[in-house]
Homo-oligomer: A and B are copies of this chain.
């Protein structure tokens, strides 16, 4: 059975891909180039896709930056280094998961697949509304009214296998499935070679995850 896996190049989506592969799906990886600053993510996505043996890796370009509104796509908004946790992070990209899941749904329908995997996580990123279980369920329900497959009785399932895992548990799961985390990039301001800053929110959460899992952090950090 075919499955679409949303693959960002980060730690979570690499783990999600490994889980889908472990569940015997033929994996079709989809990366969305939404005009993000950190293009090294896409390079990482390619390396991850290759290392985990996907059937196909498709990159769809879409200029969400034209809409502005996030530190990840709008150069006029600064990436927060540390400091207080805001209710909703400024690194939130408007409707990002909705846009990405919609594209996954389009490809799934074309391939005759009814399974979509997304590496959202409600615990470490609780500030993002579109990482919550009730959101994923609502998307799935909508998808089942939207598509030809649904009309024909093939229910679309949106799998979010990390949704209730801590970063530590995600890393332990991925290690047991052979994920090479040195290929992944989580940093919001990684350089072109994919080296991480070590100080942004994403870096701190990732480093703490390896610490708690008792696994040496394989992340490449910039020297300064």
Contact = CB atoms under 8 A, between A and B. Distances in A.
Q: How many copies does the complex hold?
A: 2
Interface residues of A, number: 45
A94 interface: yes
A125 interface: no
A109 B94 contact: yes
A78 interface: no
Contact of A62 (B60, B142, B145): B60
A139 interface: yes
Contacts of A98: 102, 105-106, 142-143, 146
A169 to B, nearest CB: 25
A102 B106 contact: no
A69 to B, nearest CB: 4
Contact of A95 (B93, B109, B129): B109
A96 B143 CA distance: 12
Contacts of A134: 145
A101 B143 CA distance: 13
